[in-house]
Structure 1
Amino acid sequence: MTLWQFLTAAMPLFSVFILLVLCRLPARQAMPLSLLISTVLAYWVWQMSFLQLAAAVAEGLVIVATILWIIFGAIVLLKVLTLSGAMAVIKAGFSQLSADKRVQLVIIGWLFVGFLEGAAGFGTPAAIAAPLLVALGFSPLAAVVLALVADSAAVSFGAVGTPVLVGLAQGVPGVTAIELQQIALTAIGIDIFVASWLPLILVLMYSRFFCEQANWRYGLAAAPFAILSGLAFTLPAYAVTWWLGPEFPSVLGALIGLAITCSAAHFQILTPKPALTIPVGAIDLSIQTHQSQLAQTQSVHISVPKPIALWKAWLHYVVVALLLVLTRVSELPFKAWLQGVNWQWQAIFGTELTVSVAPFYLPGSVFMLVALLAALVFRLSRGQLGNAFKQSGIMLLPSCIALAAAVPMVRIFLHSDVNALDLPAMPLALAALAAEYLSDSWLALAPLVGALGSFIAGSATFSNLMFGSFQQAMAQEADLPANLVLALQMLGANAGNMICVVNVVAAASVVNLNGREGEIIRYTLWPMLFYCVAASVVAWMLFR
C-alpha cells in the first residue's frame, strides 16, 4: 500500500477526528468537508468508478432517511409527552423513587438504556434516554454524553441478538450456532469484569464534569450502588446467554437489573448518603407548577385539570418498548407482517449495490404510532399536535446536513472494494496493514478494530460483518483462540458505539444540541478506550 493509498483509506477517520474533535467544527460543516475530501481521494487514488461512488452515496441517502425517521418519531413522542405534562410526572416519579441524580442516572442511563438497546438498538436508546435525563434536570450535554457511554455493553446482543446472529453469523465463514454461543459467553464473561464498572464510570463522569459538586469524591460515594447495578445486569445477562442463547441477554438482563436496582433505591440499599427524598405533596405541587409554566411558555395553551397518574405517564414508553420487542421476535408473526411491506432499490445505477427499507418495521414508525395514541389519550388539540410536529421538524433540520454527509461517506468507505486497482475495501486494507506489523499484540488490538468498525459503520452489527472473518484469520496467524478474538471484536464494537458519528448526531439532535458533536466525542472517547483496554487486559489475564 502506497502512502497516498494509506491516507485515502484512513481519510474518513482522520478528517472526522481532525475537523470534529480538534478543530471543533459542528458536524453540519465537518461532515460535508469529510465527504468531499474522501470522495475525491476515493476517485483519484483508490480509483473507484464514478457510478460506484454515486451508488454508494445514493444508498447512504436512503439509509439517512430511515435514521431521520427514527429521530423524528422520537422527538415527536417527546414533544407530545411534554405538552401534555406527562414528562413532568415522569420526572416527579423518579424524584419520588430517589431525588439523587446519581441514582437516577444509573437507573435510566444504564439499565433502561440497556433494555432499549436489547429491544430495538440502532440509535433508539439514546434518542429516548437523553430527553428523559434532561427532564430530570441533567444538562443536554451531560444527557447525551452519558446516554452514549451507557449504550455500550448491551450492544453485544442489541436488537434481539442481531450483532451475533447476523453480524458474526454472516461475517465469520463456517461458524456454527454452538460456536456463536461460545463466543457470546466469552464476551459476556469478560464483560462481568469490564462492563460492571460502567455505571460507576457514568456516575464519576457526571460528578466530575456535569454537576455543581464537580469532584470525584461525590461520584465515589455512589460506588456501591453503581457496582451493584453493573453486576445486576452482567450476571443475569451471562445466565441468559448460557440458557437461552444470544437473543435476549440485553433485554432480560436489563429487566432483572431494573427490578434489583429500583428495589435497592426504594429501600435505600447501598444508595449514596444522604438519600434525599421529596414529600409527595411537594411532588404534586412541582407537577402543577411545571404544567402552569409550560402553559405560559408554549405558543399553544395547555390545560391539565389534574395531575396525570404516574402509570399513565409512563404507559407510552412502556408501549414503545413492548412493541419493539414484539415486532423483533422472529417466532411471532408481527415481524414478518411489518417486513412484508418492503421497498427495494436493486442494482443502484447499474452496480451491485442494493438497498431496501421496510418502513413499518422502523422504530420511528413505532414512535409515531405511540405519539398519536398519546395525543388521543391526553386529549391534545390539533393545534398542540401540530405544534409538536413543527417543533420536531425544526429540531431535526440541523441533523439532516450532518447525516446526509456522514452516512454516504461511510458507504463509500465500505464499498471501496470495487475499484480499477483491484484493492480491498478500505477498512480491510487498514486492518491488513495493522496485521502485518502488529499480530504479536493482537489481543490488545482486536477490540480497537471492532471499535473502528462501529465508528465507521455506525453499528456493531456492521462492524462484526466487516471484520469478523479478518479477526478469525488474525487469531489463526497469532495462534490465539478464535472464540476469544471474536469476543473481543464484539466488545470493541460495543465501545465504538460511544463515539460513532451517526449515533452522536442523532442523540444530539433529540435534545437540540446540534453543533457540539465534537465536544461530545471528546468526552466519550476516553470511556471507549477504557472499555477496549480493560477488555484486552481481562482477556489476557483470565481467558487466553
Structure 2
Amino acid sequence: MTLLQLLTAVMPVVSVFVLLVVLRLPASRAMTLSLLITAALAWLAWRVPGIQLAASVLEGWVVASSIVIIVFGAIVLLNTLKASGALTVIRTSFFHISPDRRVQVIIVAWLFGSFLEGVSGFGTPAAIGAPLLVALGFPAMAAVSLALIADSTAVSFGAVGTPVLVGIAQGLPGTDLEELTAIALTAISIDIVISSFLPLIMCALLTRFFGANRRWREGLALWPFALLSGLAFTVPAWLVAWLLGPEFPSVLGALIGLALMVTAARRGFLLPEKPWRLANDSDLKDDAAPDVTPNLNLWQAWTPYILAVLLLVVTRLDALPLKAWLQGISLGWNNILGTPISASLSPLYLPGTLFALTALITIALHRLPVREAARTWATSARSLLPAIIALGTSLPMVRIFLNSDINASDLAAMPTELAELAAGAIAGYWPLVAPFVGALGTFIAGSATFSNMMFSGLQYEAAVAAELPPRLILALQMLGANAGNMICVMNVVAAAAVVNLNGREGEIIRMTLGPMLYYALGAGLVGMLVVVLV
C-alpha cells in the first residue's frame, strides 16, 4: 500500500472518531461527512469502481432499514407502556427487589440484557434495556452507556450462538462443531477472568458520572455483590458451553444469574445497609417506592415484556417452523447494479417487528384508548428522523469499507489490508493485538458475527505464521468482537434514538470507550500470559 492508500484504509475509523468523539458532531452530520470522505478516497486512492461504490451505498440502505425497524419497534413499545402506565408499575417492582440503583443496573443491563442478547442479538439488549432503565428513573446517558457496556460478554453466544456457528464457521470453512466448541470454550474461559469485573466497572461509572457526589468509591463499595453478579453469569455460561455447545450459554447463563442475583438482592445478601440513590431520588426514603398506577397490577405491567421475550424465543428455535417461515418472507436484491453485491431483508423476522406486534397486543391488553395509541405511534415515527439520517449514511460507509476488495489497485478489502499490515509488523505480540482486530471488525461492521466471519481466516493465518495456538487466537478474536460491540456506531446510533439522545452519540462512545479498551486489552494480556506459560 502507498501512504495515501493507508490513509484511505484507516479513514473510516479515523473520521468517525474525530468527527463523532473529538469534535462532538451529531451522528447525522458526522456520518454524512465520513461517508463522503470514505467514498471519495475509495474511488481516488483505492480505485474502487463507481458502480461498486453506488451498489455499496444501496446495500447499506437495505441494512439500515432493518435497524430502523428495530429502533421503531423498541420506541413504539416503550411509548405504549408509558401511555398505559405499565412502566410506573415496573419501576415500583424493581424498588421492591432493591432500591439500590447499582443493583438495578446489574439486574436490568447485565443479566436481563445478556439474556436478550442470547435469545436475539441484533442490538436488542440496548434497545430494550436502555429505555427500561430510563423508565426506572436513570438518566438517559447513563442508561444507554451502561446498556451498551453490558451488551458485550453475552455477544460470544448471542442470537443462539450465531457469532460462533456462523461467524467463525464461515470465516474458517470446514471447521467442525467439535473445534468450534473448543474455540468457544477457550474464549469463555478467558472471559471469566475479564468480564466478571464488568458489573463492578458499570457500578463505578454510574456513581462517578451520574451520582450526586461523583465518586468512584461509591460504586466500588458494592464489589462483593457486583463480582458475584459477574460470576453468576460467566461461570454458568461456561458450564453450558461445556455441556451443550455454543448455542445456549448466554441464554441459560443469564437466566441462572438472574435467579441467583434477584434472590440475593431481595434478601440483602452482600449489600450495604444503606442503598445508593441517584441525585433525583433524594426525595425518596430508603423504603419508599414510586407511586403505582392503580389500574394495572404487576403481572399486567410485565406481560408485554414477557410476551416480547417469548416471541423472540419461539421465532429463533430451529426446532419450530416459525423461524423458517418468517425468514422465508424476504425482500432480496441480488447483484445490485450488476455487481457481486447482494442484500436481503426479512422484515417479519426482525426483533423490531415483534416489538411492534407486542405494542399492538398491549393496546388491547391494557385497554389503551385508540386515539392515545395512534398518538403514540405517530410520535414514535416522528422521532426516527435523526436515526434514519445517521444510519442511512453510516451503513453505506461501512459497506464501502467492506466491499473495497473489488478495485483496480490489486488490493484486498481495506479491513483485510489493515489487519495483514498489523500481523506482519507485530507478529510476536499478536495475542495482544488479536482482540483489537476483532473489535475493529465490530466497530465498523456493527456485528460480532460479521467481524468473526471477516477476520477468522486472517487470525488463523497469523497464528500459524507466528507459531501461536490458533484456537487461542480465534478465541481472542471472539472476545475482541465482543468489546467492539460497546462502541459500534450502528448500536450507538440505534440505542441513542430509542432514549431520545440523537446528536449525543459521541458522548456515548466516550463513556463506553474505556470499558471497551479494558475488555480488549485485558483479553490480550491474558492471551499473552497463556502463550508464555504454555
Q: CA deviation at 1:279?
A: 9.0
Is structure 2 residue 433 aligned with structure 1 residue 445?
yes
| Bigger mean CA deviation after superposition, 246-255 or 267-276 | 267-276
Return closer, same or farther for 1:372/1:281 CA change in 2, 3 Å cut-off. Answer: farther
| Bigger mean CA deviation after superposition, 193-202 or 173-182 | 173-182
Aligned runs of 1:85-104 on 2, under 5 Å?
A: 85-104=85-104
SS at match of 2:427: helix
Letter in 1 for 2:146: L
1:10 & 1:356 partners in 2: Cα distance? 28
Aligned equivalent of 1:133? 133
How many aligned residue pairs are there?
526
1:312 & 1:240 partners in 2: Cα distance? 32
Aligned runs of 1:5-154 on 2, under 5 Å?
A: 5-154=5-154
Given that 2:118 and 2:248 are in contact with CA atoms closer than 8 Å, whether structure 1 keeps it comes out as yes
Letter in 1 for 2:342: T
Q: CA deviation at 1:391?
A: 1.4
Q: 1:430 aligns with which of 402, 406, 418?
A: 418
Aligned equivalent of 2:213? 213
Given that 1:185 and 1:242 are in contact with CA atoms closer than 8 Å, whether structure 2 keeps it comes out as yes
1:281 & 1:201 partners in 2: Cα distance? 26
Aligned runs of 1:17-416 on 2, under 5 Å?
A: 17-275=17-275, 283=289, 286-288=291-293, 306-416=294-404
Q: 2:490 aligns with which of 489, 496, 502?
A: 502
SS at match of 1:359: coil
SS at match of 1:513: coil
Return closer, same or farther for 1:280/1:474 CA change in 2, 3 Å cut-off. Answer: closer
Q: What does the per-residue CA deviation read over 1:155-178, in whole Å, with 9 as the maximum and x for residues that have no partner? A: 001111000000000001332111
Letter in 2 for 1:409: M
Given that 2:432 and 2:527 are in contact with CA atoms closer than 8 Å, whether structure 1 keeps it comes out as no
Aligned equivalent of 1:301? none
Q: CA deviation at 1:540?
A: 2.5
SS at match of 2:357: helix
Q: CA deviation at 1:539?
A: 2.3
Letter in 1 for 2:76: V
2:452 & 2:288 partners in 1: Cα distance? 50
Given that 1:62 and 1:355 are in contact with CA atoms closer than 8 Å, whether structure 2 keeps it comes out as yes
1:43 & 1:322 partners in 2: Cα distance? 47
Aligned equivalent of 1:482? 470
1:126 & 1:150 partners in 2: Cα distance? 9
SS at match of 2:468: coil
SS at match of 2:439: helix
Given that 1:236 and 1:252 are in contact with CA atoms closer than 8 Å, whether structure 2 keeps it comes out as yes
**TM-score (ref. length: structure 2):** 0.97
**TM-score (ref. length: structure 1):** 0.95
Given that 1:20 and 1:30 are in contact with CA atoms closer than 8 Å, whether structure 2 keeps it comes out as yes
Given that 2:31 and 2:390 are in contact with CA atoms closer than 8 Å, whether structure 1 keeps it comes out as yes
Given that 1:78 and 1:131 are in contact with CA atoms closer than 8 Å, whether structure 2 keeps it comes out as yes
Q: What does the per-residue CA deviation read over 1:228-266, in whole Å, with 9 as the maximum and x for residues that have no partner? A: 110000000000000110001001100000000000001
SS at match of 1:536: helix
Given that 1:268 and 1:275 are in contact with CA atoms closer than 8 Å, whether structure 2 keeps it comes out as no
1:442 & 1:274 partners in 2: Cα distance? 46
Structure 2 unaligned spans of 5+: 278-283
Q: CA deviation at 1:483?
A: 0.5
1:232 & 1:410 partners in 2: Cα distance? 36
Is structure 2 residue 422 aligned with structure 1 residue 419?
no
SS at match of 1:287: coil
1:514 & 1:438 partners in 2: Cα distance? 39
SS at match of 2:411: coil
Letter in 1 for 2:190: I
Aligned equivalent of 1:493? 481
Q: What does the per-residue CA deviation read over 1:328-369, in whole Å, with 9 as the maximum and x for residues that have no partner? A: 111221111111211111110001111111111111110011
Q: CA deviation at 1:469?
A: 0.2
Q: CA deviation at 1:29?
A: 0.6
Is structure 2 residue 506 aligned with structure 1 residue 518?
yes
The list of structure 1 runs, each at least 4 consecutive aligned residues, that deviate by more than 6 angstroms after superposition, is 276-281
SS at match of 1:344: strand
Letter in 2 for 1:348: I
Given that 1:338 and 1:360 are in contact with CA atoms closer than 8 Å, whether structure 2 keeps it comes out as yes
Aligned equivalent of 1:302? none
Matched-pair identity in %: 57
